[in-house]
Structure 1
């Protein structure tokens, strides 16, 4: 076998090329509820199989696979205990990644990624080609899957929201409008950190369906309104700071510009616009170890037809929509990825 200049190249290539297999081991474990079955302590494979309604011999092999990856620890032959790596796969922990796993390793996304070659060949969106519906329309027709989508976005937002709450000066503002705010996870972080703020969660009706209950659990119902609507038709008024987290990158420039122009109609002249998304470097050679950013960009190519934009891209969109870009900076290191992920792009009305 011919060796490469770097002895780690081939092991790394193996890890990447066959990454689909461990991803599906994790997906199967989460889908069956294995981490929750082990939440109270070690159990045998037979006990886990009974609790999850699974085939005993196959469950033994799944647990063995999870042990090989470090998510569970084998004890006394056929008893398994959840490890610190496996703990975030439980549904009942604050730092749960269950929703992210079920969304990104689930059937709808999985089948779409399997058609990546055709997307690159033709430029046509894989998700819509495979499922016969645009990404968000597909989830809108499937409330259970939309709940998983909202859960996944909320899991990411809990991390980024804490960083935003600590890293941005909210003192000049009275009311934050979260456009595309889903279940209110971002505003929950902001309002809990800044007692003087009020909030408005704005999203499609199916997007905000879980928001009232989530805000009530956080004790924020009296400080945050929930407004259902369509950002392509108009955006909720009443705020002086408008936030778009992980929204614009879901769309091509034409659709993103429509959202931004509707925001400009709603944002008062003294207000501000914050876009919270990963930023693509202007030059490919400046990417560095930005695994999360390029993976997100490829995911958008496959699923929504959107893309990760550069600071220059945002400057052009802002200008066309009636905003002036006043700054773009890295928000902070993302908790789960190997490179800084979210950036903060700020604009003012002109």
Structure 2
């Protein structure tokens, strides 16, 4: 009897998917070694790069050769590598540089829990605390190097997102905006710069606020920082509350605590803006679905679809009034008090 043979192309497809982590490893290597910074003057061979970078030329060639298959760098006929538009974002001095963002997203505090994804799926919870002795954000609070990597990386990732967010939503001419869990303040800074009639409050943990980015001449007198815990309360009486990349970190029960705190603080006619990915149905490739597994592996969080947001808002005394897609992977989910 002839045994049916598997389609060899499908075997290759599955094999390549199984080894996809090597693309992340190669990208991290390029970001960490600073290859892109050494190609700003034009193409260079791995032999020319090896000395300044302190690496092995043959090994570097193999890393860059793989990245070039994904449009990150391009190899010329003479064996030299040049920057592509994607590789330009790995330059440390590029506008909206993603170098620190790539380093953060490929750090072991994300990589290692992802390797335990099967355990997470079986147990229904992240293995992060088992691996590191504390939940994710508690680990950052007690590990300064990890915290610096995370906050610097998030600022890098957010640079382009912040511009897209502000372009997608028409902020009012006057009033107060509270950026809840706003990190170093990149989004609030951009909101205030683009809307001169607004004032803002950056609300986050005290250790995060120490390195905020609001103290610039253009914003003099229009901002303040307030330390606190958004599970307990948020500053009251503002016109707009921002939650960017916050709810996806937490379970539904934890999100309800945050949302109810915002609802209690909102003034009459206030607005809540949740800036997160919105998971769409269907089988198309989706960054939201990739990010969803990262949240599941490390944080017990999740990315949500429109109905998920609608249900959460209703339980918190809010009503979903619209979703504004942006030019980034994120959307602005708009809610009003009911």
Q: Is the 8 A contact 1:240 1:267 kept in 2?
A: yes
* Aligned twin of 1:338: none
Q: Offset of 1:114 from its aligned partner?
A: 0.4
Give matches, 1:41-120, under 5 Å.
41-74=42-75, 77=78, 79-120=80-121
Separation of aligned partners in 2, 1:143 and 1:221: 30
Tell me by how many angstroms 1:46 deviates: 4.2
Q: Corresponding residue for 1:2?
A: 6
Deviation, structure 1 residue 333: 4.1
How far residue 182 of structure 1 moved from its aligned partner, in angstroms, is 0.8
Which range moved further: 195-204 or 175-184? Answer: 195-204
User: What is the aligned counterpart of 1:312 among 303, 307, 313?
Assistant: 307
**Equivalent residue, structure 1, for 2:325:** 331
> What is the root-mean-square deviation of aligned Cα atoms in Å?
2.6
Counterpart mapping for 1:242-281 below 5 A:
242-281=241-280
In the superposition, relative to structure 1, how do residues 246 and 53 fare at CA in structure 2: closer, same or farther (>3 Å)? same
In 2, distance between residues paired with 1:163 and 1:245? 12
Is contact 1:173-1:241 (8 Å) kept?
Answer: no
**Distance apart, 1:238 and its partner CA:** 4.9
Deviations 1:277-320 (A, max 9, x none): 22235xxxx33425212112211110110112233333332233
Q: Is the 8 A contact 2:26 2:64 kept in 1?
A: no
**2:163 is equivalent to residue 162 of structure 1:** yes
Instruction: Give TM-score scaled by structure 1 length.
Output: 0.85
TM value normalised by structure 2: 0.88
Q: Are the equivalent residues in 2 in contact too, given 1:188–1:218 (CA < 8 A)? A: no
Q: Cα–Cα, structure 1 residues 327 and 287, in superposed 2: closer, same or farther, change >3 Å?
A: farther
Give 1:241 deviation, angstroms. 0.5
* Cα 1:218/1:189, change in 2 over 3 Å: farther
Runs of at least 5 residues in structure 1 that lack an aligned partner in the other structure: 335-340
Equivalent position of 2:336 in the other structure: 348
1:132-211 map, 5 Å? 132-171=133-172, 173-211=174-212
Structure 2 Cα separation of the partners of residues 186 and 15 of structure 1: 38
CA distance in 2, matches of 1:328, 1:311: 10
Structure of higher RCO (CA pairs closer than 8 Å, 6+ residues apart): 2
**How many residue pairs were aligned?**
334
Report the equivalent of 2:286.
291
Contact 2:173 2:195 in 1 (8 A): no
Deviation at 1:57, TM superposition (A): 4.5
Report how far residue 139 of structure 1 moved: 1.6
Q: Quick check: 1:314–1:325 contact (8 Å CA) kept in 2?
A: no
- Corresponding residue for residue 337 of structure 1: none
- Structure 1 residues 303 and 55, CA gap change in structure 2 (3 angstroms): same
Shift in Å, 1:14: 4.4
How far is the alpha carbon of 1:117 from its aligned partner?
A: 0.8
Name the residue aligned to 2:130: 129
Query: Following the alignment from structure 1 to structure 2, what is the Cα–Cα distance between the partners of residues 279 and 80?
Result: 37
Q: 1:190 to 1:290 in 2, by over 3 A?
A: farther
